[in-house]
Structure 1
């Protein structure tokens, strides 16, 4: 008799679904790192060019291009975006949609 496969709807954050500590941080780092990776892919730069542009070693470029974003802090990944001529906006809002208070939006 064949086993029946069960499916579960995820939360949108695979790290939280796996019960990992710091799931929000891991998710944010993954999203930001992937944006950096996409920009670098589009520009088709060589490893040495990326190294000079971002101000990191070629081994760090290798980690970045292999999507090893856990090797970088969120802050470092944001710095990469800035060096790639991207505006970074940090938006802070309350979780509850019933609050009428405004959030905070910072442009970095």
Structure 2
């Protein structure tokens, strides 16, 4: 039985699916996961979360549903800071074992 060709995947499923802005979408998703976790753990309503973060309730609703097209990385980071989180951005030279790109660990 012949083997089927299986293209090599990456660590970024969005890139594998052909999204041009895969790195940004992945970064936004990681920040949104953390933001949603904090909102849930604190038992905040969308209205309360909006008041604390300075976002509107509809924007919080979008984050809760991972509809992140109209929300910037900066806005997500500011929302996390509003919820007493430290957001750190580190820039370093890419190495041979680690390709250039954007990675978010939340």
Q: 1:30 — aligned with what? A: 29
Moved over 2 A (4+): 4-10
| 1: CA distance, partners of 2:4 / 2:45 | 44
Q: 2:89 — aligned with what? A: 90
TM-score by length of 2: 0.77
How far the C-alpha of 1:90 sits from its partner, in A, is: 0.7
| 2: CA distance, partners of 1:6 / 1:97 | 27
Deviations 1:46-67 (A, max 9, x none): 1221111111221112111112
TM-score by length of 1: 0.76
| 2: CA distance, partners of 1:47 / 1:7 | 43
Structure (1/2) with the larger strand percentage: 1
Summarize the Cα distance change of 1:9–1:64 in structure 2 as closer, same or farther, 3 Å threshold: same
Aligned residues: 95
Structure 2 gap ranges (5+): 98-106
Give me the CA root mean square deviation: 2.2
